[in-house]
Amino acid sequence: MKILLLPGMDGTGLLLEPLCAALPSTLAPIVVRYPNDRTLGYDELLPIVEDAVPRGEEFIILGESFSGPLAVMLAAKQPPELRGVILCASFVRSPVPRILNAAARWFGPLLIRVTPHALTCHALLGRFQTPALRDLLKAALNSVPAAVIAARLRSVLSVNVEPQLRACSVPLLYLQVSDDRLVSSRCVFQIQQINPTVEVAELNGPHLLLQMEPQRAVMRIMKFAVDCLDK
């Protein structure tokens, strides 16, 4: 079986390397990478995801953070070999409270340009950060222009894939982290309200769970993959 891996807001795929290294040979990764020279929103990124779908092979899809909506959008198109969807520390509509959404649209892109790396690490890794993870995060973010990241942030603030989630007919797993400073538990509650079949697994870690705890994440992913094949 294949696992189609959709990266976080950096879109480089670099941050998925720890997870790929931990995957067994029975679950082969396909890492999708988004262009870093164009400001593309969710609708423009979806064809890139569709092009990466393995043909004639069973697969599951994992959308990390920013890419959760893309995983749901793909599932709504019902690829014949899709067996399950995993959302990791993600959302189906803007994770920013509605009262703050307008301010985030104006000031969010500016903050991306001026936020020190130490504060970014604090938000994404918190007390779990290590020198190696800080370096990996820096390498990923430094390879993407601030304007591209800002455009993706604006896409997050306006996204709403609730109808697609409601129509999803394959098994769904949500990996919720204990110390998420970006995506609150409110997002998980929304997802369960929209589609009550979603299974939630809570793991100890920061927003960048797949980087901090790849082995534990893989154990849960593998259980889900096996369950999907049995259905």
pLDDT in tens, 150-165: 888 888 988 999 999 9
pLDDT digit string (tens) for 51-70? 999 999 999 999 999 999 99
CA nearest neighbour of 174 among 190, 154, 152, 153: 190
Evaluate whether 90 touches 183 at the Cβ level (below 8 Å).
yes
Q: Which of 59, 86, 80, 88 is nearest to 224 (CA)?
A: 86
Three-class secondary structure of residue 177 per DSSP:
strand
Query: pLDDT (tens digit, 9 = 90+) per residue, 119-132?
Result: 788 788 888 889 99
The whole-angstrom separation of Cα 92 and Cα 94 is 7
pLDDT surpassing 50 at residue 104: no
Q: Decide: 191 and 92 in contact? Cβ < 8 Å.
A: yes
pLDDT at residue 118 greater than cutoff 80: no
- Rounded to the nearest integer, the mean pLDDT of the chain is 89
In angstroms, the CA 63 to CA 6 distance is: 5
Q: Does residue 45 surpass a pLDDT of 60?
A: yes
From start to end of the chain, where are the E strands?
2-6, 28-31, 59-64, 82-88, 172-179, 199-206
Contact between 25 and 6 (Cβ < 8 Å): no
- What architecture does CATH give domain 2-230? 3-Layer(aba) Sandwich (3.40)
Q: What is the mean pLDDT of residues 39-62?
A: 95
- The helix/strand/coil state of 60 is strand
Which amino acid belongs to residue 78?
A: Q
- Distance, CA of 73 to chain centre: 13
Residue with tokens 């997002």: 187
Alpha carbons 224 and 218: distance in angstroms, whole number: 10
Share of the chain above pLDDT 70, in %: 90
- Res 91 pLDDT > 80: yes
